[in-house]
Structure 1
Amino acid sequence: MERTTFSLLFYIRRDKLNKRGEAPVFMRLTINGERADASIKRFIEPHAWNSDKGKANEKCRGGKDLNLYLNAISANILQIQRDLELDKKEVSAQIILNRYLGKEQSDRHTLM
Structure 2
Amino acid sequence: MLEKSFGLLYYLKQTKNQKNENRYIYLRITVDGERREISTKRQWISDQWNAQLGRTTGISEEAKELHSYLDLVSVKVYRAKTKLLEDNKPVTAENIKDVLIGKDEKKFHHGSISTS
TM-score range, shorter chain: 0.7 to 0.9
Check the 8 A contact 2:27/2:37 in 1, yes or no.
yes
> Secondary structure of the residue that 2:79 maps to in structure 1?
helix
> Secondary structure of the residue that 1:106 maps to in structure 2?
helix
**Counterpart for residue 92 of structure 1:** 92
Give how far 1:2 is off.
4.8
The 1:13–1:61 alpha-carbon spacing in structure 2 relative to 1, beyond 3 Å, is: farther
> Secondary structure of the residue that 2:106 maps to in structure 1?
coil
CA distance in 2, matches of 1:38, 1:56: 18
Give how far 1:102 is off.
1.4
**Cα deviation code 1:4-54 (max 9, x no counterpart):** 211010000246574542011011000011110111110001111111211
Q: Map residues 10-89 of structure 1 onto 2, 5 A cutoff.
A: 10-14=10-14, 18-60=18-60, 62-89=62-89
**Counterpart for residue 6 of structure 1:** 6
Higher relative contact order (CA 8 A, sep 6+): 2
The 1:17–1:71 alpha-carbon spacing in structure 2 relative to 1, beyond 3 Å, is: farther
Counterpart of 1:24, as a letter, is: Y
In our comparison, the structure showing a higher alpha carbon Rg is: 1
Check the 8 A contact 1:55/1:67 in 2, yes or no.
yes
Give how far 1:61 is off.
6.1
TM-score between both structures, scaled by the size of structure 2: 0.80
Question: How many residue pairs get matched?
Answer: 108
* Greater per-residue helix proportion: 2
CA distance in 2, matches of 1:59, 1:84: 36
Q: CA RMSD in A?
A: 2.2
Unpaired runs of 5+ in structure 1? Answer: none
Runs (4+) off by over 6 Å: none
